[in-house]
């Protein structure tokens, strides 16, 4: 048990509760803030969405998070905003737009949508309707239909001067939104009030269970977490950060996917990473889900695991002061089995910065584009000179019990010309290395076909002219 000091809406609160207590339960059951709804309790519907404001140096940054997958302990010294915390004496412009556009019927999803729309205004650099709509990918409405919700979003954006909006990023965004009545005035006082909250350490005894973003943990072990002795990695500075060292990109394990997306280092070191971000869950999950959690949950279709396999990543494991490294392709031993003892923590992930000629591509087939895990996914890193392939690394998920580095296929294409015969042989090698099973995501035969098509898609996407000349088609 530990004392958690936080601000919820306009009030400082302290809770003597286990750090793993689900925030949604605290909001609804202790605080009686019933505007935050409980729908799926699995991160899939967005009805429990809240804003989470965390001090970053001198200013506060707000992110949307699913309170059903959020440990109360991570609210320590932060600001949690529910729909009640956005209410003023009259409806704010987003709430009014929802009324004017008939964007609510039963209303169950509406608080979550208002929170996400506000989250977009807090997080976006510039105003962009398609990006704003994509930002709502984690919110589901069962009865109104999305057209009127999108109209309400567009109406809200139209009220804002786009130049002033862009200029306010990041330092004066909150005061800008207060001025425009999207946020209540008390938001201005929150940074000072957070800094004056009493401090309580991340208290642990015995062997704790490890939680990073919690997005997988609560789904798998949700019933047990509230009473467990939880170590919250997102509060451990040593597990956060991205930097370059000895021509390697180092990502500390508790780095979130949003932090990857906004990192200038990643833009330089991981070609085109941002292009694929919309294929990974939705903004509120990305705001919490970590790179380390994606690897340790050992899902055979973990998107980051697949991408990092193609980048030839290595994992760094830590136990007390001892560190050891393992190639990511050797780390996965069997279904959900890792080369890791229970006491070891994943400390960081490193990968060599690809050469200038290096090109990266990621492909994913899932039943729906947003907020879904893959049936099959695949990543490639390839460098070429004068139509000859210097190096290629290919990985695929959903085709074996583990995220798979396709070693034979990768080795085959090295120093070969890019032509139809060699690509066909690469696919044959890849198919000989995988053992898909038939399950709800498709038959084994379908998954093999998908893998073949995804490998072709890599070449067609990365080398369109050559693929056309060689008649390589996905």
Ligand X SMILES: Cc1cc2nc3c(=O)[nH]c(=O)nc-3n(C[C@H](O)[C@H](O)[C@H](O)COP(=O)(O)OP(=O)(O)OC[C@H]3O[C@@H](n4cnc5c(N)ncnc54)[C@H](O)[C@@H]3O)c2cc1C
Q: Which residues bind to ligand X, rule: CB under 6 A?
A: 42-44, 210-217, 219, 233, 253, 280-281, 285, 288-290, 292-294, 296-297, 302-304, 345-346, 371, 373
Whether residue 86 contacts residue 114, with contact meaning beta carbons closer than 8 Å, is answered with yes
Map residues 35-74 to x or -, x wherever contact with ligand FES holds by CB under 6 A: ---xxxx-xxxxxx-----------------x-x------
Taking each helix axis from N to C end, the angle separating 93-100 and 110-123, rounded to the nearest 10 degrees, works out to: 130
Buried b (16+ CB within 10 A) or exposed e, 211-234: bbbbbbbbbeebeebbeebbbbbb
Residue 125: name the closest of 92, 65, 166 by CA.
166
Residue 397 contact, options ligand FES, ligand X, none, Cβ 5-8 Å cut-off depending on partner type: none
Taking each helix axis from N to C end, the angle separating 146-158 and 93-100, rounded to the nearest 10 degrees, works out to: 140
Residue 43: name the closest of 15, 68, 71 by CA.
68
Whether residue 119 contacts residue 134, with contact meaning beta carbons closer than 8 Å, is answered with no
Give the nearer residue to ligand FES in terms of CB position, either 48 or 338: 48
Residue 215 contact, options ligand FES, ligand X, none, Cβ 5-8 Å cut-off depending on partner type: ligand X
Give the nearer residue to ligand FES in terms of CB position, either 67 or 78: 67
Using DSSP's 3-state secondary structure scheme, residue 165 falls into helix
Q: Which stretch binds ligand FES (CB under 6 A): 33-41, 53-61, 183-191, 330-338?
A: 33-41
Residue 184 interacts with ligand FES (CB under 6 A)?
no
Give the nearer residue to ligand FES in terms of CB position, either 37 or 448: 37
d(CA 307, CA 413): 19
Residue 105 interacts with ligand FES (CB under 6 A)?
yes
Q: Report which DSSP code applies to 198.
A: P
Give the nearer residue to ligand X in terms of CB position, either 345 or 396: 345
Q: Which of 6, 21, 92, 104 binds ligand FES (CB under 6 A)?
A: 104
Residue 86 interacts with ligand FES (CB under 6 A)?
no
Give the nearer residue to ligand X in terms of CB position, either 389 or 450: 450
Residue 274 interacts with ligand FES (CB under 6 A)?
no
Residue 132 contact, options ligand FES, ligand X, none, Cβ 5-8 Å cut-off depending on partner type: none
Residue 402: both structure tokens together: 């583990």
d(CA 458, CA 362): 7
Shortest distance (Å) from residue 150 CB to ligand X = 21
Give the nearer residue to ligand X in terms of CB position, either 118 or 284: 284
Give the nearer residue to ligand X in terms of CB position, either 28 or 41: 41
Q: Cis link prior to 170 (omega < 30° from 0)?
A: yes
d(CA 183, CA 318): 43
Residue 41 contact, options ligand X, ligand FES, none, Cβ 5-8 Å cut-off depending on partner type: ligand FES
d(CA 99, CA 103): 6
Q: Which stretch binds ligand FES (CB under 6 A): 104-112, 173-181, 184-192, 217-225?
A: 104-112
């Amino acid at each position: 048990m530990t004392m958690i000091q936080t601000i919820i809406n306009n009030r400082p609160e302290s809770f003597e509760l286990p750090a793993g207590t689900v925030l949604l339960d605290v909001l609804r059951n202790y605080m009686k803030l019933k505007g935050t709804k409980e729908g799926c309790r699995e991160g899939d519907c967005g009805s429990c969405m809240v804003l989470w404001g965390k001090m970053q140096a001198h200013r506060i940054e707000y992110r949307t998070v699913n309170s059903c997958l959020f440990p109360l302990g991570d609210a320590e010294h932060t600001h949690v905003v529910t729909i009640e915390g956005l209410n003023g004496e009259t409806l704010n412009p987003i709430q009014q737009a929802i009324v004017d556009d008939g964007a609510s019927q039963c209303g169950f999803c509406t608080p979550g949508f208002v929170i996400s729309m506000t989250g977009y205004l807090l997080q976006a650099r510039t105003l962009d309707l398609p990006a704003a709509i994509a930002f709502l990918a984690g919110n589901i409405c069962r009865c109104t239909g999305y057209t009127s919700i999108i109209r309400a979003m567009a109406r809200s954006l139209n009220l804002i001067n786009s130049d002033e909006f862009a200029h306010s990023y990041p330092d004066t965004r909150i005061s800008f939104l207060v001025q425009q009545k999207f946020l209540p005035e008390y938001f201005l006082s929150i940074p000072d009030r957070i800094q004056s909250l009493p401090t309580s350490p991340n208290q642990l005894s015995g062997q704790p269970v490890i939680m990073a973003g919690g997005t997988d943990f609560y789904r798998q072990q949700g019933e047990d977490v509230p009473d467990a002795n939880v170590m919250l990695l997102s509060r451990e500075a040593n597990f956060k950060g991205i930097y370059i060292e000895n021509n390697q990109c180092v990502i500390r394990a508790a780095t979130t996917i949003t932090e990857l997306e906004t990192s200038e280092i990643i833009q330089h070191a991981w070609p085109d990473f941002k292009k694929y971000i919309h294929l990974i869950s939705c903004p509120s999950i990305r705001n919490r889900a970590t790179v380390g959690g994606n690897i340790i949950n050992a899902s055979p279709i973990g998107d980051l695991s697949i991408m990092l396999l193609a980048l030839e990543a290595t994992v760094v494991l830590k136990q007390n002061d001892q560190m050891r490294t393992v190639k990511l392709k050797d780390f996965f031993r069997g279904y959900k089995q890792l080369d890791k003892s229970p006491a070891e923590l994943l400390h960081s992930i490193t990968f060599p910065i690809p050469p200038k000629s290096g090109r990266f591509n990621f492909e994913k087939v899932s039943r729906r584009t947003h907020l879904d895990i893959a049936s099959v996914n695949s990543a490639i890193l390839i460098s070429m000179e004068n139509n000859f392939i210097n190096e290629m690394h290919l990985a695929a998920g959903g085709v074996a019990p583990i995220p798979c580095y396709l070693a034979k296929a990768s080795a085959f294409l090295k120093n070969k010309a890019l032509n139809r015969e060699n690509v066909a042989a690469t696919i044959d090698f890849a198919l000989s290395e995988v053992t898909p099973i038939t399950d709800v995501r498709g038959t084994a035969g379908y998954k093999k076909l998908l893998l073949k098509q995804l490998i072709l898609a890599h070449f067609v996407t990365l080398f369109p002219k050559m693929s056309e000349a060689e008649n390589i088609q996905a």
